[in-house]
């Protein structure tokens, strides 16, 4: 990777009001629906080392022209999109 790499960071708030930062790894459109693959983002190397590296898959929805990232509630949809991202990301990092 280039020394000039700047991660795209989102601060997301869950239903309980807890905020956490995530780094955008990839996005893709499937059947006119946009999806995003993210991982938790940490400022300290110690926090990065203790993280499990969980991949988060979110769906982009619009509410009154506002873009929102939401969880995918349908298990089949989540599995399908998750597998597509894993395949894409494996190809990128080979």
Residues 51-82 have pLDDT tens digits of 666 889 999 999 999 999 999 999 999 999 99
- Pairing between strand 9-13 and 56-63? unpaired
38-57 pLDDT per residue, tens: 999 987 776 665 666 688 99
Residues facing residue 21 across a β-bridge: 11
Q: Are 37 and 25 contacting, i.e. CB atoms less than 8 angstroms apart?
A: yes
When pLDDT is averaged across residues 16-38 and rounded to a whole number, the result is 94
Q: What is the mean pLDDT of the chain?
A: 87
- Its pTM stands at 0.80
What are all long-range contacts of 65-72, with beta carbons under 8 Å and residues at least 24 apart? 69/10, 69/12, 69/36, 72/35
Whether the predicted pLDDT of 1 surpasses 60: no
Nearest to 40, CA basis, from 58, 28, 16, 56: 56
């Amino acid at each position: 990777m280039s020394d000039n790499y700047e991660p795209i960071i989102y601060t997301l708030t869950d239903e309980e009001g807890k905020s956490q930062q995530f780094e955008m790894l990839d996005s893709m459109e499937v059947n006119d629906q946009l999806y995003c693959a993210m991982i938790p983002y940490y400022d300290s190397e110690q926090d990065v080392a203790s993280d499990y590296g969980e991949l988060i898959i979110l769906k982009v929805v619009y509410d009154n022209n506002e873009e929102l990232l939401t969880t995918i509630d349908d298990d089949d949809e989540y599995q399908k999109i998750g597998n597509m991202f894993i395949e894409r990301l494996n190809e990128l990092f080979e």
